[in-house]
Amino acid sequence: MDYNGVLVGLGNPGSRYEGTRHNYGFAVVDALVDFAQRHGVAESLNGGKFSCELWRIRLKELDGVWLAAKPQTFMNLSGQSVQPLLAWHKLRPADLVVAHDELDIPAGEMRFKLGGGNAGHNGLKSITELLGTPDFYRLRLGIGRPPHKGDVTNWVLGRAQGDDAEHMLQAVPAALDTLFAFADKGLDGALRAARKTAQPRKKAAPEAAQAPDRAE
């Protein structure tokens, strides 16, 4: 069967990591599967040979048939799932969209791009190494950075709280809109859709007027 593309959401398997910031990519795949079950077809496939959970998605919003996958290799070995998945189905890196958490984007915002560096993300690093190219699409899901420059590992493996959690939850439908825009209008369409998630920045408070010097 010919596929129009494949969405791979990154995360870590097992209940210990459910709902963590690092599993944001899993949440987007889950949302796509749920949407397809209600509005199209989401057929569960045997992803064992690719070490992933795997679905065949048929949706008019995707203008054809896609694969959706959640690697079960642990994050830093994601390429060991993605590379054989693409090779078996005769898909190119240019057919791949990887949904992943991104520290350098505020929680609940997202960006979309083709290629580029890995910014310290071990899942992207593994995929790049195994595919032999960085030239695949990335749906970058913002989780923000620790407020006090704390331990990044504990941050990404922790669960968002308060406003961050709400913003991230609300952004999941926008992630699907971005994917649908990509399927319909390519990179430019995805870029425009992703930019809609940008939140207004709070203006810095004006500095207090400086008191006049005291006479000595």
Residue type, 186: G
Question: Nearest to residue 24, comparing CAs of 127, 175, 152, 134?
Answer: 175
Binding-site residues: 17, 74, 76, 122
Binding-site residues for tRNA: 17, 74, 76, 122
Taking each helix axis from N to C terminus, what angle separates 79-88 and 122-131, rounded to the nearest 10 degrees? 40
Query: Which range marks the domain in which residue 65 is found?
Result: 5-195
Query: CB burial class (10 A; 0-12, 13-18, 19+) of residue 8?
Result: buried
Kindly state whether residue 210 falls inside one of the protein's structural domains.
Answer: no
Kindly state whether residue 54 falls inside one of the protein's structural domains.
Answer: yes
pTM (2 decimals)?
Answer: 0.91
Kindly state whether residue 203 falls inside one of the protein's structural domains.
Answer: no
Distance CA 8, CA 25 (A): 8
pLDDT in tens, the chain (216 residues): 899 999 999 999 999 999 999 999 999 999 999 999 999 999 999 999 999 999 999 999 999 999 999 999 999 999 999 999 999 999 999 999 999 999 999 999 999 999 999 988 999 999 999 999 999 999 999 999 998 877 899 999 999 999 999 999 999 999 999 999 999 999 999 999 999 998 775 554 444 444 444 433
Kindly state whether residue 207 falls inside one of the protein's structural domains.
Answer: no
Q: Is 41 left (phi over 0), alpha (psi -120 to 50) or beta?
A: beta
Give residue-wise pLDDT tens across range 28-84.
999 999 999 999 999 999 999 999 999 999 999 999 999 999 999 999 999 999 999
Kindly state whether residue 209 falls inside one of the protein's structural domains.
Answer: no
Please answer whether residues 30 and 49 qualify as being in contact, where contact means their C-beta atoms are separated by less than 8 angstroms. Answer: no
Q: Which residues are catalytic?
A: 22
Taking each helix axis from N to C terminus, what angle separates 162-195 and 24-39, rounded to the nearest 10 degrees? 70
Kindly state whether residue 180 falls inside one of the protein's structural domains.
Answer: yes
Handedness of CA 158, 164, 161, 20 (dihedral sign): negative
Query: Domain count of the chain?
Result: 1
Assign residue 175 the CATH number of its domain.
3.40.50.1470
Kindly state whether residue 211 falls inside one of the protein's structural domains.
Answer: no
3-class SS at 112?
strand
